[in-house]
Amino acid sequence: MRFKTGGRLDFWTLENPIAGRSRRYRRIVIDEAAFAKDGDNKVEGSMMSIFEKAIKPTLYDFNGEVLVCSNSAGKNPDNFFYNICTDAQYGFVEYLATTADNPLLPKRLGHEDIATWTDRRTRLLAELARDNDLVYAQEYQAEFVDWSGVAFFSREKLLETGQPAAYPGSCDGVYAVIDTASKTGTDHDATAVTYFAINRFGPSAPLVILDWDIAQIEGATLETWLPSVFIRLEELARICGARGGALGAWIEDKNSGTILLQQAQRRGMMSRPINTKLTALGKDERAISVSGYVHRGQIKYSGHAFNKVSIYKRKSRNHLLDQVESFRIGDKDSDREDDLLDTFCYGISIGLGNSDGF
């Protein structure tokens, strides 16, 4: 954007490793810095590398300044935002503003007078503080939280007063999320699918997990497996009174998922690739990205999904609950199954996130 006063405003994506290179700036603003790529300045494409090699040099000409904004994303020594906030060598001054510090949140409703709004705000903040776990500390208090070894997704948050939710009588639509692999053997990934109902009207949770499935499927049989997903979607759309019907399936666009997308499009089945910004994130980052929605109780297990038991790799259990509730941040050496966990995180991002899934 060029202004008649002679000024100019440039926009850069932090996925560009040469963002700003060769330009001259008086002021730079970086947003959501904690969720850019981790790594030191030797890691190509990392936020630290982009900042020190491309962004910081653009401030030299005019002795410019930089404002870096973000919520926290855990105590991570490889994270750019964590480093500039906690290590004085980078020369930043930290300013902390919590959710409670914002006098305009939550938004005052049209019919509320000041007294009613103030009372509701006080009660809401008290309820948030009462559930003072690590998600609250990070998402509302902007603290750097150490997630290592901590059970990240609480069953309590995914139930309604200790019980799974009923299938909705009506909803906006239902959709599926598929994570695929074409390998076989007990040491390799599975093909997993999770079904969601989304409803933005009414007092109930906006997202309900309706069903799930996981299996080891040979690459040659994936083509015959895919139609069963769309048959199940249509069935769930009827059961849940989906006003928009079956919204289709989101599929990770890599490995055998690419083949599934091609097969679905050839057969006229409604399918979409999951946004590459989401698939490029690590599991920890994806989990952190959706943690606020889970903590606020916006996602619930249905009774069917909660009570379902299936056999996978000779183990009979509820594999969705097992994978979601056993997930630990920072557990780099874990060999736990995580295909349903991936569909869980992707599904929340797609249903409740913005256009990019965040």
Query: 254-284: per-residue pLDDT in tens?
Result: 766 777 888 788 888 898 999 888 888 888 8
Token code pair at residue 12 = 């850069």
The answer to whether the CB of 283 falls within 8 A of the CB of 338 is yes
Token code pair at residue 102 = 């914002």
What SS3 class is residue 178? strand
Nearest-CA neighbor of 330 among 275, 268, 287, 269?
287
Token code pair at residue 302 = 């249905």
pLDDT digits (tens, 9 = 90+) for 198-225: 998 877 899 999 999 998 776 556 667 8
d(CA 200, CA 246): 16
Number of H-type helices and E-type strands within the chain: 11, 10
The answer to whether the CB of 291 falls within 8 A of the CB of 135 is yes
Q: What is the pTM of this model?
A: 0.63
Which residue carries 């055998």 as its tokens?
A: 256
CATH 3.30.420.280 residue window(s) in the chain: 155-352
d(CA 8, CA 315): 61
Whole-number pLDDT of residue 312: 85
Enumerate the β-bridge partners of residue 207: 198, 299
Whole-number pLDDT of residue 224: 76
Whole-number pLDDT of residue 24: 93
Cα 68 to chain centroid, rounded? 21
The answer to whether the CB of 30 falls within 8 A of the CB of 68 is yes
Neighbours of 123 (CB within 10 A): 10
DSSP 261-329: HHHHHHTT--EEEPPHHHHTS-HHHHHHHHHHHHHTT-EEEBHHHHH--EEETTEEE-HHHHHHHT-BB
Whole-number pLDDT of residue 10: 95
d(CA 70, CA 293): 17
Whole-number pLDDT of residue 187: 46
What SS3 class is residue 207? strand
pLDDT tens sequence for the chain (358 residues):
999 999 999 999 998 889 888 899 999 999 999 989 988 888 889 999 999 999 999 999 999 999 999 998 888 888 999 999 988 889 999 999 998 899 998 999 989 999 999 999 999 888 877 766 777 888 888 888 876 666 678 888 999 999 999 999 999 999 999 988 644 444 445 789 999 999 988 778 999 999 999 987 765 566 678 889 999 999 999 999 999 999 999 988 776 677 788 878 888 889 899 988 888 888 888 888 898 899 889 999 999 999 999 988 778 889 999 899 888 877 665 566 788 999 999 999 999 986 555 6
Whole-number pLDDT of residue 183: 46
Per CATH, which fold does 155-352 belong to? Nucleotidyltransferase; domain 5 (3.30.420)
